[in-house]
Amino acid sequence: MPKILIVDDDSLIRELLLQVLEPFEENGVTLLSAQNGVIAVEVINKELPDMVFLDVMMPKMNGFEVCRIVKSTAALKDIYIVMLTAKGQEVDKQNATAAGVDYYITKPFNISEIIKKVNEVLNMNVS
C-alpha cells in the first residue's frame, strides 16, 4: 500500500492537501501528516512513505534539514520528496536541489499539478 506524508506547520495547508489527495486514499493510498520537521522524520522512519510533500519554513527543523536526513539515510533515500513552499527564489530552489529534493512546487500551488505528480510517482491514474 503506497503512503504519502504531508508536512507543513500550517494546519490549513495540511487539510487542503489531505482533501486534494482524498481520491488517492479511496484507491488504497495511506495519507499521513506531520506539523513540523522533527515529527516528520519520526513518521518517515516508522512509516516509510513513498512520497513526502514537505514545507521549508517550519519550527524545530526546516524542510531542507528533513530532506538531507532522508536522502542521506540508505533505507530512506528513494523516498520521493516534493518541496512545497512559498520560497520561490532561485537560491531557494538551489538549496532544495542541494538537499536532494526531487521536485519543487511553490505556493500557491496548482491542484492539478499535485494530482499529476502523485499519479506519476505512484504510477496511478486517479483524477
pLDDT score, position 9: 96
Q: What is the pTM of this model?
A: 0.96
In what side-by-side order are the strands of the sheet with 3-7? 30-34, 3-7, 51-54, 80-85, 103-106
Give the domain ranges of the chain: 3-116
Identify the CATH class of 3-116.
alpha beta
Mean pLDDT per block of 10 residues along the chain (127 residues) reads 97 97 97 98 98 95 97 97 90 93 94 97 96
pLDDT score, position 112: 96
Sequence-separated (6 or more) residues with CB below 8 Å from residue 57 = 9, 63, 85, 86, 87
